[in-house]
Amino acid sequence: MENTVIKIENLVKRYGDLIALDHFSLAIREGEIFGLLGPNGSGKTTTINCMLSLLAFDKGNIEIFGQKMTPVSYDIKKQIGIIMQDVAVFNELTVYENIDYFCGLYITDKAERKRCVMEAVEFTGLGEFLKFYPKKLSGGLLRRLNIACGIAHKPRLIILDEPTIAVDPQSRNKILEGIQKLNRMGATIVYTSHYMEEVEQICTRIAIMDKGKKIAEGTKDELKRMIKNTETITVEVLGLSEAVRNEIIQLPHVYRTEYDGERLTVFCSGGTHNLIRVLDVFRTHEIRVGRVYSELPTLNDVFLEITGKELRDRKGDSHVLS
């Protein structure tokens, strides 16, 4: 049986009247890439800060590596690497000096530290920038430096708190690949994000949070199975009559339709060949259609169905949350 690396039981954290964490429980096993998914303000960072004993909590219990986590659990802290959502490095130190400084907080042996720093440099691809100061680095390189500072001491548990915010797609992919590589090298990863694609891409298990509560937990397939929707079909069509819409909703596995005068959205639950049946209706009535596409449910659909709201604001920037 896999060992439990992090065990959180009934965690409660209040900021005055606001409940940031409401009886939150979680168990993360060794070797996992565990995703903590939720919109801003859902309690992800608060959970991490409580896990690291950087933040006092009102109720509950946290165990890491089988031991109760307290502010003075320095032996446990030494085995954890943290990568914050804000880049926390010294602007006055070079790339090498920064990694060396943070690595030196864990490893005192100079030779070993140098080896670890160079491995972190190689891992993050910062070799060419060792003598650069952070202000001279691009956003992506800064994020990589932030990661290098967090992993140089080879922690058993790595916590990444939204490490890809404001990072270009190329750098983001490199970061995600790096996280998977770290996991393959034996580290357990806790990854918080509000980017569902990232979480879907790399996490072996996911917990979805909202308003300080865990609303769902499981693998991405398990989560998707929790909801009614299994397929969403979208058809661009003009002037669709009520009769045709009624015919479509009568089709097997279709449980809901939406039409805005230009686009018909058909929600299906289970079944196969749903798209063919829908298109057959249009062919029968000789209705010309534009683009047609079928989508499998995403974590956003899971979030939407469970909470009644979207994880991400579709109207605005793709990274802006509702």
- Nearest distance, CB of residue 177 and other proteins, angstroms: 24
Q: Does 55 bind other proteins (CB under 8 A)?
A: yes
- Helix, strand, coil fractions of the chain, as percent rounded to 5: 35, 25, 40
245 — phi, psi (to 5°)?
Answer: -60, -40
Which SS3 state, helix, strand or coil, does residue 275 take? helix
- Answer yes or no whether residue 135 interacts with other proteins by CB under 8 A: no
Instruction: Establish if 18 lies at the interface with other proteins (CB under 8 A).
Output: no
Q: Where are the alpha helices (DSSP H) in 125-265?
A: 139-151, 169-184, 196-202, 220-225, 242-249
Q: Which of 54, 185, 249, 296 touches other proteins by CB under 8 A? A: 54
Amino acid letter, 221: D
Smaller CB distance to other proteins: residue 80 or 240?
A: 80
Q: Does 97 engage in binding with other proteins (CB under 8 A)?
A: yes
Q: Fill in the per-residue mask, 147 to 176: x = in contact with other proteins (CB under 8 A), - = not in contact.
A: --xx--------------------------
Handedness of CA 224, 227, 228, 229 (dihedral sign): negative
Q: Which of 244, 306, 295, 247 is nearest to 267 (CA)?
A: 295
Contact stretch for other proteins (CB under 8 A) within 76-84, 224-232, 256-264, 303-311 = 76-84
Total of chain residues touching other proteins, rule CB under 8 A: 29
Q: How far apart are CA 279 and CA 284, in angstroms?
A: 9
**1 lies in the site for other proteins, by CB under 8 A:** no
Of residues 82, 120, 203, 207, which one binds other proteins by CB under 8 A? 82
Tell me how many helices (H) and strands (E) the chain has: 11, 14
- Residues in contact with other proteins by the rule CB under 8 A: 15, 52, 54-56, 72, 74-75, 77-78, 80, 82, 84, 86-88, 90-93, 97, 101-102, 104-106, 108, 149-150
